[in-house]
Structures are given as structure tokens and as C-alpha cells.
Amino acid sequence: MTDVSNVLSDLTRKPDRGGDRHLVDAVFDECVVATVSTVIDGQPWVIPTLVVRDGDRLLIHGSTGAGALRHAAAGAPVAVSAFLLDGIVVAERQFDHSANYRSAVVRGTCRVVDKTERSAALDVFTDALLPGRPTECPPHSASEVAATLVLELSIAEDNWVAKQRSGPAAEPEGDAWTGVIPVRQTYTTPVSNSHRDIPASVSAVVARTGLP
């Protein structure tokens, strides 16, 4: 089962699984939630959080009171990691079981998005999760903008790694069944908390990511 074990492991293990910048973009554009890792007092620290990509930057945001984000805002090194699980690969031997996946890690230090850019960055954030949604909402208030910390991590030439596995299981030696169980993140029918019509941005994202 080494192949399962190697899933999303460090690039040195499976150089043929290295990806390119398009893969980085695809992973962050689809993941919704990513994981921000940093180091506090020599210990690993990790926060799953919503992350969006905007061109050559990742945007992370949180309350101005969130400790780990403040640590990152103060210049602590971060590694932002995301993955998409695409399938469970079922082989003849347990050892050859694996996963189909796409993953990316971007490293560096974050820049704090300053007050003058923050409102626009928050729109970009919402728009990446629910395209068109910012125009359906009232404008941000000054207190909302003031209460929100927005961090930006550049995706540069050499600060990322992307990996993937796709395709079938290893060939069986015997007459065993092998195959792949596709896995996907699915949005289902919205649960309305009001009698109003579902907004266009919500209908569109469900149509795009729901099962056919």
C-alpha cells in the first residue's frame, strides 16, 4: 500500500507527479477550504480556512482578533496547502491501492492587505466562492472592513509545488477486479431560510458543481 501512502507526499518521492502552475491555479480555484500552516514557538500550527486565488495571489482572511492569522500577518512563514481528492484507486494488492488527487502548496510570508484595498479584496474573495454575489449584497460597512484582516500570499516563480495522480490502478497479476471510485465535492439543493427567490449567484454555483 505504499502508493496510497505516498499520496500527496513530498515531490521528491514521485517526480513524475510534479505539476505546473496551471495545476496550482486549478487546485486553489476548486478547493474552497485550504490549510494554512505556520510555526509558533517552534511548534507546527495549522488552520483550515477559506482561501481563494486572485491571479498571482492567494487571499486569506479572518477576524482581526484571530491569533494565528495575526502571527502570519506579523511575518511568520506560512505554507498554504490544498488538495482535491478525485478518486479512490482500488488495486489487486493493498500495497497498490492509491488515490487520485491534485494538490498544491504555496510557501512564503503574507502581506497584509491595507485598508484602502481591503473592501475590494473582500469582494474578490466572495466573488471567487460565489461568482456574482458581491453585486447582490449591500456594500461593506466601515466597521466590517475594519474588523477583517486580509492577508495576501504571492504565487511567485519558485515558491510552490503541485502534484497529481490520475488514471487507473496498477495492472493486476491475477484475475482481480481493479478500478477507481470517483470522488467529488458536490453542492446540493440550497436550503432556504427565507421566502425570497434564490439569488442568481447561488443557483449558478449549484448548477456548476452539483451532480448532473
Number of residues that bind a second copy (CB under 8 A): 102
With H, G, I as helix, E, B as strand and everything else as coil, classify residue 67.
Answer: helix
Q: How far is the CB of 155 from a second copy (least distance, A)?
A: 16
Q: Does 69 bind a second copy (CB under 8 A)?
A: yes
103 forms beta bridges with: 83, 163
d(CA 95, CA 117): 51
Does the footprint of a second copy cover residue 166 (CB under 8 A)?
no
Q: Does 35 bind a second copy (CB under 8 A)?
A: yes
Subset of residues 105 to 144 that bind a second copy, contact rule: CB under 8 A? 105, 107, 122-123, 125-126, 129-130, 133-134, 137-138, 140-141, 144
Binder among 33, 74, 142, 156 for a second copy (CB under 8 A): 33
**By CB under 8 A, residue 13 contacts a second copy:** yes
25 vs 86, beta carbon nearer a second copy: 86
Q: How far apart are CA 89 and CA 170, in angstroms?
A: 9
Question: Could you say whether residue 26 binds a second copy (CB under 8 A)?
Answer: no
Q: Buried b vs exposed e over 158-168: b needs ≥16 C-beta within 10 Å?
A: eebbbbbbeee
CB nearer to a second copy: pick between 111 and 140: 140
CB of 205 to a second copy, least distance (A): 7
Q: Are 104 and 125 in contact (CB under 8 A)?
A: no
DSSP assignment of 105-145 equals EEEE--EEPPHHHHHHHHHHHHHHHSTTHHHHSPPPPHHHH
